[in-house]
Structure 1
Amino acid sequence: MQGEWRSGRSRRQTSIREGAGNMPQSWIGRMSVVAGANRLIPKQTYLRIFLGVGLLFAIVSVPFAFLLSNQFSRYAMNQIDKVSEAEMAHSRDNAQFLLNKMISYGLNMYANKNIQAWMMADAESQGTQVDALAAGTQYMATEPFLDNVYMINMQTEHVIDLRYGIASFAQFRDPSLLDLVRHPHPSYQRFIPHELYGKTKLALVIPTVPSGQLSFGYLVLVLNEDLLKQYLLKDDGKAGVLSFILDDKGKAMLGPANDSFESLYDGYVSKVSAEQGSFTARYENETWSVQYAKIEPQGWTYFQMAKVAGIQSDFRTFQTRMTVFLASLIILLLAILFWNSRRTYRPFSQLANQLESKFGTGLRNMTSEGPSEEYRVIRYGIEMLENRMDQLDSSMREHRNVIKAEYLRQWILQGKLITPLETYLRQEAIPALFEKDGLFVGVIRINGYSAFKEKYSFASRKLVKYAMGNIAEEIIRREGFAEAVDLGGDHLVLLIAGGTLDGDLLPRLLEETGEQIMQWTQVRVALSVSGQKATVDDLRAVYQHVLELTMLQFVSGESKVFLERDFEAYMRKVEPLPDDSLLDDLIAKVRMGRTEEVSAGLDRIFEPMQSMLYAQSKFQLSHMLYTLFKAFNKLPSVESVEGINGLLESFDTLAGVRSWLESELLAIIEELSSRRNSSRRDEVVTEIVDYVRSHLHDPNLTIEEIAEHVSLSTRHARQVFKDVWGMTLSDYILQERVEEVKKLLDTTEWTVTDIGERAGFQTKSHFFTVFKKATGKTPSQYREGV
Structure 2
Amino acid sequence: MKGNSFFHYSVYRKMLGNFVLLVAIAVLAVSSTLYFLFASRTEQTIGNHVISMLQQTSYASNIVHEQIETIGSHLLNNNRVITSLMNKQHSYVQDRDAMDILMDIQATYPFIKYLGIYNDYTKRYLNTAGTPFKLNELEKRHVADTSDMAYMSYFPQDLLPSYADPSAPPEHVLTFILRPDYALTSAYKGAIVIHVDEKYILSTIQSIGSGSDDVFVMDTGGLVLSHTDSRQFKRSFGELPYIQRILESGQTADHFKTEIDGRNQLVTYVKSSQLGWYFVSIKPYHTLIADISILRGYTSLIALAIIVLGGMTAYFATNKLYNPLGRLISKVHEATGTDSSDRKQKRNEFSLLSEAFSNVIDQATSVEAEKRQSLPVLKKTYLQHLLKATHADLSSTNVIHSAIDGHFASPFYTVVLAQIDRYEAFEQKHDQRKQGLFRFSVSNISSELLQKHARNEAIVVDERTLAILMLPEAPLEPGGLLLTLAEIQEVIQSYFHFTVTFSIGDTVSDRNEVHHSFASALEYANDRFFLGSKSIIHAELVLRRQTFHAYPASAEKKLSEALRLNHAGKIDQALGLFSRQLREMSYYQAILSANQLLNVLLRDFDGTLPIMQDYSKEYFDTVNALQKQETLEEVQELLRNFCRLISVLAEKKQTSKSDSLIDSICAYLQERYQEPDLGIETIAVDVQLSPGYLGKLFRSHTQMSFNDYLKNIRMEEAKKLLLTTGEPVAAISEKVGILNTTYFFTLFKKTYGFSPAQFREQHGK
Identify whether the pair has TM-score above 0.5, normalized to the shorter chain.
no
- Structure-1-length-normalised TM-score: 0.30
